[in-house]
Chains A and B, each alone.
Chain A
Amino acid sequence: MKRKLNLELLAEALICFFLSALLFYALISGKTADYVHPRINGFLWISAAALLVISALLSASCFSPKHNARPSRFLLFAVPVLLALCIPAGTVQSKAVSFENTAGGADSRQKSDVIPDTASSEAGKNASRFVLPGNDENGVITIADGQFADWYRDIGENMNRYEGKTLRFKGQVFRMKEFAKDEMVPVRYAMVCCTADLQPCGILCRGGNSSRYGNGAWVWVTGKIKIEIYENQKMPICYVTKIEKAEKAQKAYIYFTY
């Protein structure tokens, strides 16, 4: 009985169907945002629809039997599925090509910034894009989760605007080997394309009682911004007055759009 179907085509049709179903599920539940930039969601919707059509057509034509069908050659498609099922979704360790590789660099800070400081001279045109939120009664400017990307870009481009201001922002504690004891960066991970290019973004913080918080802990940091030269580079540094434990941000990553 089993030879009455073309098992290879059947396997292909099933794979296309499951891929399409998975894509629809991930898109509807918003899980794709954990893996890729929302910019390609449109492409993914179209792909899911096209795969559904393909699987319907393939399954319609799999009734012509094939003798030497080897559906096992599609076993490879089980690898991502198994991996996804066995290992729960989690975070990407900051990895080889981003924050940690600083041992040799004089301008080590640059690595963690998606926007290098060389851009500051030219990027004036973007200055008007980000409107600083108003101060509260204590003169503290709070950066909301959704504003982090724009704020981060803005402080890289027009750091003088922030000199002497007191900011409050949220991030995950991130430390490098070269940091002094009271130094750390509250970072958000920025995605540009997919999880392969995640980069930690944040500004250096000094002082406060930050050593209580382990790497990766979510914190609210309040502090005063000063422009200083750090490792041969002009950059904003936050002198912390208060650190408190924070809730995890709703979106795991921040996204830069272009």
Chain B
Amino acid sequence: MTRIEVVCGFLGSGKTTLIQHILKQDWLQGCRRILILQCEEGKAVWDDSAVKSHSVFLARISSLSEIRPELFSKIRSQLNPDLILVEYNGTWPIEPFLGVRMPKDFRMDQILFCADVSTFDLYWKNAGSLMFSQLSNADAVCVSRCAGAAQTLKATVQSVNRSAAVCMGERAVDRYLTGIFNPKARKEANKWQKIGEAEVSILMAGIFLFFLFLPKDSDLFAAVQSIRMIFLGILIQALPFLLIGSFVSALLQVYVPDEALVRIFTKHRWLGFPLVAALGLVFPVCDCGIVPIASRLVQKGVPLPQATVFLLAAPAVNPVTVLSTLYAFPGQPGYAVCRMILGAFIALAAGFLLSLSKIKSEKVLLTQAAVSCSCACGAGGGTPRHKGRLGRAESVFLAAGQEFLGMGRYVICGSLLCSVVQQAVPPSVFTGSWSAAVSVLLMLLAAFFLSVCSTSNAFIGRSFLNLFPSAAVLGFLVMGPMLDLSNLLMLSGSFQKKFVIRLAAGLLAIGLFVFLLLSMFPEEVPL
């Protein structure tokens, strides 16, 4: 069997050095013949002393068109090496190479992307789309010299290719190389991976069979059935809203230039925040549709506080929510009014605190670097085939679809948990006479676990009305769309977990404060 390892990266990023380093290692003793395919004249000079212990052959390739099936069948018939190390040209896209049909026992193994911290940023800014092809396909990023700002490099790699291992420094690179070249370590890793896969599939099959053969008349079956109905109901109900949100986000990405968007949000220094909060009025979307829009806003450069205000206020003030609250509390328009006002207020307070804390959006975003790349290369790699107007429309659909599926995973997790909690937590937990503080806290906790969507939220909240004081129920209504589990999960898809946790904690603190204050004056709440 012949393994092909590809070493790619820009000129001067240390590809030749890495290959020579690999050749020096002891674990290559088992290889009879090694072929090095050089697609680029390296800066580093070949040091023959490094290769004398094996029979190493060197071949040069000068243009991309030479990489064809015939090349590899020729290699197979003439040399039949155990290992082919390809030093790939940094300016060639890698897809043509990946698309080449290989001889039967040739196997593409790893793609290693070499990078130099000192030049990476510059290359990425100027030739991002060239680099994107190689970086997004890499299994590992090897940084041998890591002096300087390695953080941006890490963030960029993460945003383009979340599955790539980032090896900082020679020791990390060595460890990674041992894992892929050392036959012993490789065997061991394969074994563990197989065991892991077997465990997961046995577990899945077990769960599947358990549900399949659950006695139909047991209480558990009835509970599972309820969970299924609620879960599917939430999903079907969230689907159109999530799709609308994804489309708005994709439209913003493709059609609205960054500067124009940022200008809208930052035009007025102080009036800006209330304007952003009012912007939610024009988005008749549930909260799960707001998250992709808000994430896109931050990615396009809208300051974090403004985007957060939008994220938090929109579900509270949008017309769908207001209508549903009016309907859930007939004859008591106070609830809808309070929900709007308090929602906007808490959103503004959170935005204000954020702008005080001066957290930079680059620090909390997972995908900011993709922005600097041209819009043609959506993060998932779907590229439109048409040019011009048609191409743009096509990329809207592609981006919306990928956004939808990306967020959909979090919605599935969140609503599954939510429906399980709704069935599993007995209502008797909530009964009893609580002090004001405890009841507010309980309602905020319920908001975290039970709030499915800002629309049905109102009706679920209503049923708490005779167990808790109205201030606490109002807390559930207002905080539900801001704090709920699936929203936070979705946010963690585009923001760092630390930031999401902080945001949730901050919101919880503000919410507790506001609603405790409200419950002090029960008579003055005009409900």
Which residues from chain A sit less than 8 Å from chain B, CB to CB? Answer: 1, 3-4, 6, 8-9, 12, 15-16, 19, 23, 26, 32, 34-36, 40, 43-44, 46-47, 50-51, 53-55, 57-58, 60-62, 64-68, 70, 73-74, 76-77, 79-80, 82-84, 86-93, 95-98, 100-101, 103-108, 110-111, 114-116, 118-119, 121-123, 192-197, 199, 256, 258
Contact = CB atoms under 8 A, between A and B. Distances in A.
Contacts of A62: 382
A194 B456 CA distance: 7
A202 to B, nearest CB: 15
Interface stretch (B75-83, B181-189, B429-437): B429-437
A86 B212 contact: yes
Contacts of A54: 397-398, 400-401, 404
Contact of B108 (A67, A95, A193): A67
B228 A84 contact: yes
A26 B332 CA distance: 36
Interface in B387-441: 394, 397-398, 400-402, 404-405, 408-409, 412-413, 416, 418-419, 422-423, 425-428, 430-433
Nearest to A105: B466
Contact of A47 (B111, B240, B409, B430): B240
Nearest to A65: B98
A214 to B, nearest CB: 13
Contact of A118 (B232, B327, B331): B331
A90 B330 contact: no
29 contacts: A1-B101, A36-B237, A46-B240, A47-B240, A57-B398, A61-B383, A77-B405, A79-B416, A82-B208, A84-B232, A92-B225, A93-B423, A96-B423, A100-B427, A101-B428, A101-B430, A101-B467, A105-B466, A111-B463, A116-B465, A121-B331, A123-B330, A192-B456, A193-B237, A193-B453, A194-B456, A196-B460, A197-B452, A199-B459
A118 B460 CA distance: 18
B416 to A, nearest CB: 7
A135 B405 CA distance: 55
B466 A110 contact: yes
Interface string B320-352: 000110111011100000000000000000000
Contacts of B394: 57
B236 A194 contact: yes
B158 interface: no
Given A110-B466, A195-B230, 15 more contacts: A15-B405, A36-B236, A43-B241, A61-B384, A65-B98, A68-B137, A80-B231, A92-B226, A96-B426, A100-B427, A116-B465, A119-B332, A195-B233, A197-B452, A258-B323
B198 interface: no
Nearest to A89: B229
A151 to B, nearest CB: 16
Interface of B: 94-95, 98-99, 101, 108, 111, 136-139, 161, 163-164, 208, 211-212, 221-226, 228-237, 239-241, 243-244, 247, 323-324, 326-328, 330-332, 380-385, 394, 397-398, 400-402, 404-405, 408-409, 412-413, 416, 418-419, 422-423, 425-428, 430-433, 450, 452-453, 455-456, 459-460, 463-467
B330 A104 contact: no
Contacts of B453: 193-194, 196
Contacts, number: 253
A44 B239 contact: yes
Contact of A77 (B211, B409, B423): B409
Contact of B228 (A26, A83, A122): A83
A122 B331 contact: yes
Given A51-B243, A100-B427, A35 B237 contact: yes
Nearest to A108: B466
Given A54-B397, A68-B111, A193-B453, A47 B243 contact: yes
Interface centre among B208, B330, B397, B408 (most CB of A within 10 A): B330
Nearest to B211: A86
B14 to A, nearest CB: 20
Nearest to A87: B228
A4 B99 contact: yes
B232 A195 contact: yes
**What are the nearest 4 A-B pairs in CB distance?**
A195-B233, A101-B427, A43-B240, A54-B401
Contacts of A65: 95, 98-99
B428 A119 contact: no
B108 A76 contact: no
Contact of A8 (B381, B397, B455): B381
B89 to A, nearest CB: 16
A124 to B, nearest CB: 11
B240 A196 contact: no
Contacts of A82: 208
Nearest to B378: A61
Contact of A196 (B326, B456, B465): B456
A91 B231 contact: no
Contacts of B464: 97
Nearest to B429: A96
A101 to B, nearest CB: 3
**Considering residues A19, A36, A54, A65, which has the most beta carbons from chain B within 10 angstroms of its beta carbon?**
A54
A3 B108 contact: yes
B304 to A, nearest CB: 28
Given A44-B239, A90-B229, A194-B236, A16 B405 contact: yes
B427 A96 contact: yes
B402 A12 contact: yes
A73 B225 CA distance: 26
Contact of B208 (A16, A86, A115): A86
A9 B409 CA distance: 15
Contacts of A103: 428, 431
A206 B417 CA distance: 39
B463 A199 contact: yes
A61 B385 contact: yes
Nearest to B384: A61
B331 A119 contact: yes
Contacts of A196: 230, 233-234, 237, 418-419, 422, 452-453, 456, 460
B231 A83 contact: yes
Given A47-B243, A66-B98, A93-B226, A61 B398 contact: yes
A65 B385 CA distance: 15
A194 B234 contact: yes
A60 B230 CA distance: 35
- Of B223, B384, B404, chain A has the most CB atoms within 10 Å of the CB of B404
Nearest to A22: B236
Contacts of A6: 381
A19 to B, nearest CB: 8
A12 B405 contact: yes
A9 B95 CA distance: 14
A86 B231 CA distance: 14
A199 B237 CA distance: 17
